[in-house]
Structure 1
Amino acid sequence: MSNLTEQQQIDSHRPRILRLYNLYRVILGFGLTLLTNAVLRDGLLELSNPAIYEKASWIYLFINVLIALLLHRGRRDLHVFLVTLVDIGLLGVIFFAAGGVGSGFGNLLIIPVAIGNILLHGRIGLLLPALASIGLIYLTFFLSLTHPYVGQSYLQVGVLGCIYFAVALFVQRFSRRLYLSESLAQQQAASLASLEQLNQLIIQRMRTGIIVVGPDNRIITGNEASAQMLARPIQPGPALDKLVPELDQRLQQWRRNPSTRSTSFHSHSGSAEILANFKPLGGSGDKTILIFLDDNTQVAQQAQQLKLASLGRLTASIAHEIRNPLGAISHAAQLLNESDQLCKQDVRLTEIIQQHSQRMNRVIETVLELSRRRPSEPQLVDLALWTSSFLTDFRAANPPTDIIECEIEKEGILTRIDPNQMTQVLNNLCQNALRYSGSAGSERTIYLKLYEDGISQLPTLEVIDYGPGVADEHVGHIFEPFYTTEASGTGLGLYISRELSESNQARLEYEAATPTGSCMRITFAHPKRLV
């Protein structure tokens, strides 16, 4: 450790050590002044010079009180050295007045020497025991001039001086190691705090939602991704069954049988499909549970890519095998229809052949288009401007009898999509809505509504028609490929629309409109979410 770091450690502890040292000196001063009373020291202490002892004790008490009041915040080494030096000098005078080494007052100098070496390292610290030892030797010499028996105490004074140096060296080494240990502990604490802050930042920025639930089924903490997935703030304290009942059900199932795979769920209508995984946070005795929330949309998107790749290989292999014979059949039926020798029944049969040949050709073209579809190229899009631009083009391409009403909640509703792919989806939904609203040429009206969902705060676009709606037995199948209720339909329109929506991390859902009609709802991803 550098000297600067060590000095900073000393400076940080100096005020507390000085306060304790000043308190000790004031208490010691009061004790010494009490011994100036002859009655109190009778039989306890034999003074060689009571007058000097009394004056030195009162001066010592006065100076200590003054220093405690004025220099209790002293931070400079010079202040500490001078205070310790004054302490050694006055205690030396009291040592002289008390009768020398036999009084035991020489031991009182150990504390100033020790405190000085705690706060003053190096040679300046060793100067204190040197001065204390020299002072006691000279005071013993002067005392021996008037008291001959004191001359036999030089050995004890020398031993006392050695004790001062031993204490100084021990205190310096011990305090230095304490400062090093404390500095290392502070560095480790700072590193742990930094790592904890880094971990918190990483957890908060993770796209996987994380919730920690305690043994009492109350939420301890949760990251930002979990709040976005569940479309509600995750605060410590609330019970999980009150905040997210669907997640609590799966947690209880996992607790009963940890080997059971959890099923996905929606936290609210129109939310993403969420898959929860559970893991105990501690050992077997700790019932704290760590919940991982994953957006199943990404898994569905990967499955969709595999599905499209398989479909592409399949259609590539059968395209030529089907389209060439189909073209020959259609051409032969057209030539047969031009013959004058056919009766009306045969003409009708040739028309049926051509009609179904064209339908099969449309199915093949649609499947080929789906299998060759390019990857999405998402960009930040203002949905209000995008919807207005789409309506302008759509109205221009349709007859005036097709009326499209539109309600846009506000400007600046943003999301990340591929505008070309989502234009194809919206065009398909609007064409379907017009088709089910009435026959071509009649007055047909559909309704578009763009808004931000009040719960999830996600952009939402609804396409509503006023037709008869979808029968209950067909609702669960309308997004399946090749499923249609029309004789001339291919059954791929809604399927492709949902596939394109999922590739842009949007959700396409059906809901019955009131009192009649159908509502196709597109829930877009958050604008900060990368597709």
Structure 2
Amino acid sequence: MPGAMTEVIDYQRPRILRIYNIYRVILGFFLTVLTSGALREGLLELNNPQLYETASWFYLFINVLIALLLHQGKRDVHLFVLSVLDIFLLGSIFYAAGGAGSGFGNLLLIPVAAGNILIHGRVGLLLAALASLVTIYLTFYLSLSTPGAVQSYLQVGVLGGIYFAVALFVQRLSKRLRQSESLAQQQAASLASLEKLNQLIIQRMRTGIMVVGGKQRVLLANEAAAQMLGKPIIRGMDVDDLAIGLAQRLRQWQDNPAIRTLPFHNHSGGAEITANFKPLPSDEGETVLVFLDDNTQVAQQAQQLKLASLGRLTASIAHEIRNPLGAISHAAQLLSESEQIPAQDKRLSEIIQQHSKRMNKVIETVLELSRRRPSEPQLIDLSLWLEHFAETFALSHPATDSLELEAGHNVMTRMDPNQLNQVLDNLCSNALRYSGAEGEHRSIWLKLYIHPETDLPILEVIDHGPGIPEEHLAHIFEPFYTTETSGTGLGLYISRELCESNQARLEYEPMVPRGSCMRITFAHPRRLV
């Protein structure tokens, strides 16, 4: 604590010394003004006008010189010498002005007080003793030639007591001020350290945090918010330029704070983000604290619960499905071995066997997924894979169903081919079903491209049907949710689960003026398996 108090007073000493120097220069100026007989007539009766004039001009000159040369002095010895010089010069003026009766003895209070403020320790008491001795000695010297010595001694004695009282009071006050300022500096340092720690914690948080001021301008944001929104966040940026979905939900919340905002995606293939808002009191207007949460973790936990229920379901029906499926596959195999079967029927028999194996693989994949077994992603060329898929689609569907493929070359990703086949089978079957009745001309469109911003492969399954009603959009990926009496409600759910198990993302987007688009955003081919 003493070291801290010393640093505090050392920090304040130049300013105090500067004020003290200015005071001495001003005092010297007024003392020299009184050297004019016309100005001091009726105000002051000098005992020695010549000595007063010399001492006053010397006092002004030496103080101007000290103010110019010693304004940054910090050593105690310099300040002590300065205070002693001040006491002796003012003592000379005190003697020339007539002693205690002139009132000039009060001028020595300032050097005593200033010395006790600037000098460490109790050395300041020496200045009070020195000032008392000077005034007493000069009063004694004046009493040899001036009557009323008893009254002068009494005044000087009281004045000396005042010098010591001022020194003790200033020392005690200075000590308390030093302690208070030292404590304030320690608290300021602690607050600064805590502020840095809080900023570091906020920057490292996985939850995105933003502060939005008036006119929807961003005042503060952490790294997690920038990563979730996929854009660098600059102070003063408009929220509309940063994320349109976030700006819309902010306006909805401002209109009705009780409303629960829906999640949003800031860009295609981006994470699903939930925004929560809280008002902050501020003098700059309405300020809002925004919390951004990535729903991926919550969705994965919910998926695990769904997979557990799906596992119990598939385990109970797997036996009932596999027995008739095995009989169908075996019968088709025996039929294909017959010598009397035509070539066309033999091809149909092969299709039966192929799809029987695929159905069996689907059951195994769902069982493996429900048991939390990892998928087996492989590096595949989506362009070539889709060409093969389109050929198989044409063989297994009537001529009234058509599939148009638009794909670039060398579009690579990492995914389990069997699970991708199951996903596309589900999506294409749904697209055909909603494009028209069976037997009518129905067409779907597969579009494969690279996203220009994220460099991720994207596959879109597009149909030209009526689209999905808005009231069903929030539930289309839920298990067992279906609007058809013959449906199971597992197709889109399993498709999304299989995509997410391969670090891909399945989303729905309505087409304009009609139609539906199921978009798969694949993982980057260079990702770690």
Q: TM-score range by the shorter chain?
A: 0.7 to 0.9
Report how far residue 123 of structure 1 moved: 2.0
Q: Among all aligned residue pairs of Structure 1 and Structure 2, give the percentage whose two residues are the same amino acid.
A: 60
Distance of 2:289 and 2:525 partners within structure 1: 25
Contact 2:426 2:495 in 1 (8 A): no
Alignment of 1:117-128 (within 5 A): 117-128=116-127
Name the amino acid aligned to 1:205.
R
Distance of 2:504 and 2:49 partners within structure 1: 99
Q: Which residue of 2 aligns with 1:472?
A: 465
Distance of 1:170 and 1:312 partners within structure 2: 85
Q: Which residue of 2 aligns with 1:461?
A: 457
Alignment of 1:296-445 (within 5 A): 296-320=295-319, 323=322, 325-326=323-324, 361-374=360-373, 390-391=380-381, 406-407=409-410
Name the amino acid aligned to 1:502.
E
Distance of 2:364 and 2:27 partners within structure 1: 104
Name the amino acid aligned to 2:294.
D
> 1:256 and 1:423, CA in 2 relative to 1: closer, same or farther beyond 3 A?
same
Contact 1:95 1:105 in 2 (8 A): yes
Alignment of 1:83-94 (within 5 A): 83-94=82-93
- Count residues with an aligned counterpart: 478
Report how far residue 160 of structure 1 moved: 0.8
Q: Which residue of 1 aligns with 2:135?
A: 136
TM-score, normalised via structure 1 length: 0.74
Name the amino acid aligned to 1:295.
D
1:200 equivalent to 2:203? Answer no
> 1:358 and 1:527, CA in 2 relative to 1: closer, same or farther beyond 3 A?
closer
Contact 2:427 2:492 in 1 (8 A): no
Distance of 1:527 and 1:202 partners within structure 2: 31
SS in 1 for 2:289: strand
Distance of 1:84 and 1:266 partners within structure 2: 74
Distance of 2:151 and 2:49 partners within structure 1: 22
Q: Which residue of 1 aligns with 2:67?
A: 68
> 1:136 and 1:505, CA in 2 relative to 1: closer, same or farther beyond 3 A?
farther
Structure 1, 174-183 or 160-169: larger mean CA deviation: 174-183
> 1:526 and 1:136, CA in 2 relative to 1: closer, same or farther beyond 3 A?
farther
Distance of 2:187 and 2:525 partners within structure 1: 40
> 1:245 and 1:17, CA in 2 relative to 1: closer, same or farther beyond 3 A?
same
Name the amino acid aligned to 2:505.
R
Contact 1:429 1:463 in 2 (8 A): no
Q: Which residue of 2 aligns with 1:499?
A: 497
Distance of 2:87 and 2:224 partners within structure 1: 67
Contact 1:406 1:447 in 2 (8 A): no
Structure 1, 143-152 or 299-308: larger mean CA deviation: 143-152
Report how far residue 83 of structure 1 moved: 0.5
Report how far residue 73 of structure 1 moved: 1.4
> 1:36 and 1:334, CA in 2 relative to 1: closer, same or farther beyond 3 A?
closer
SS in 2 for 1:146: coil
Report how far residue 145 of structure 1 moved: 1.4
CA deviation profile, 1:268-327 (whole Å, cap 9, x unmatched)? 33332222212222399973222222222332222211111211233334444654x547
Structure 1, 298-307 or 9-18: larger mean CA deviation: 298-307
> 1:259 and 1:109, CA in 2 relative to 1: closer, same or farther beyond 3 A?
same
Distance of 2:270 and 2:476 partners within structure 1: 20
Distance of 2:82 and 2:220 partners within structure 1: 54
> 1:423 and 1:116, CA in 2 relative to 1: closer, same or farther beyond 3 A?
farther
Distance of 2:375 and 2:13 partners within structure 1: 67
Report how far residue 221 of structure 1 moved: 2.5
Q: Which runs of 5+ in 1 are unaligned?
A: 378-385, 410-418, 437-445, 484-489
Distance of 1:376 and 1:81 partners within structure 2: 85
Name the amino acid aligned to 2:120.
H
Q: Which residue of 1 aligns with 2:514?
A: none
> 1:333 and 1:526, CA in 2 relative to 1: closer, same or farther beyond 3 A?
closer
Distance of 2:450 and 2:241 partners within structure 1: 31
Contact 1:407 1:448 in 2 (8 A): no
Contact 1:144 1:150 in 2 (8 A): yes
Contact 2:28 2:60 in 1 (8 A): yes
> 1:373 and 1:274, CA in 2 relative to 1: closer, same or farther beyond 3 A?
same
Q: Which residue of 1 aligns with 2:155?
A: 156
Distance of 2:18 and 2:175 partners within structure 1: 20
Name the amino acid aligned to 2:55.
A
CA deviation profile, 1:449-495 (whole Å, cap 9, x unmatched)? 556x42xxx34113589xxx644357889978899xxxxxx998976
Contact 1:459 1:524 in 2 (8 A): no
Structure 1, 278-287 or 62-71: larger mean CA deviation: 278-287
Q: Which residue of 1 aligns with 2:396?
A: none
Report how far residue 104 of structure 1 moved: 0.5
Distance of 2:216 and 2:182 partners within structure 1: 41
Q: Which residue of 2 aligns with 1:57?
A: 56
Q: Which residue of 1 aligns with 2:506?
A: 508
Distance of 1:291 and 1:526 partners within structure 2: 34
Name the amino acid aligned to 1:406.
H
> 1:519 and 1:314, CA in 2 relative to 1: closer, same or farther beyond 3 A?
closer
Report how far residue 64 of structure 1 moved: 0.9
CA deviation profile, 1:14-55 (whole Å, cap 9, x unmatched)? 111111111111111121122222222221111122222222
SS in 2 for 1:36: coil
Report how far residue 520 of structure 1 moved: 5.4
Name the amino acid aligned to 2:79.
V
Contact 1:408 1:449 in 2 (8 A): yes
Contact 1:449 1:462 in 2 (8 A): yes
Distance of 2:251 and 2:261 partners within structure 1: 10
SS in 2 for 1:269: coil
Structure 1, 426-435 or 221-230: larger mean CA deviation: 426-435
Report how far residue 74 of structure 1 moved: 1.0
Name the amino acid aligned to 2:87.
I
> 1:523 and 1:463, CA in 2 relative to 1: closer, same or farther beyond 3 A?
closer
Report how far residue 167 of structure 1 moved: 0.9
CA deviation profile, 1:231-262 (whole Å, cap 9, x unmatched)? 33333334434543332332232233322211
Structure 1, 105-114 or 294-303: larger mean CA deviation: 294-303
Report the aligned-residue RMSD. 4.8
Name the amino acid aligned to 1:54.
E
Q: Which residue of 2 aligns with 1:443?
A: none
Q: Which residue of 2 aligns with 1:244?
A: 243
Name the amino acid aligned to 1:126.
L
Contact 1:297 1:502 in 2 (8 A): no
Report how far residue 155 of structure 1 moved: 1.8
Alignment of 1:101-120 (within 5 A): 101-120=100-119
Distance of 1:153 and 1:309 partners within structure 2: 106
Q: Which residue of 1 aligns with 2:145?
A: 146
Q: Which residue of 2 aligns with 1:219?
A: 218
SS in 2 for 1:123: coil
Distance of 2:126 and 2:450 partners within structure 1: 85
Structure 1, 9-18 or 151-160: larger mean CA deviation: 151-160
Report how far residue 502 of structure 1 moved: 2.5
Q: Which residue of 2 aligns with 1:280?
A: 279
Alignment of 1:246-261 (within 5 A): 246-261=245-260
Distance of 2:525 and 2:82 partners within structure 1: 69
> 1:230 and 1:472, CA in 2 relative to 1: closer, same or farther beyond 3 A?
farther
Distance of 2:118 and 2:419 partners within structure 1: 78
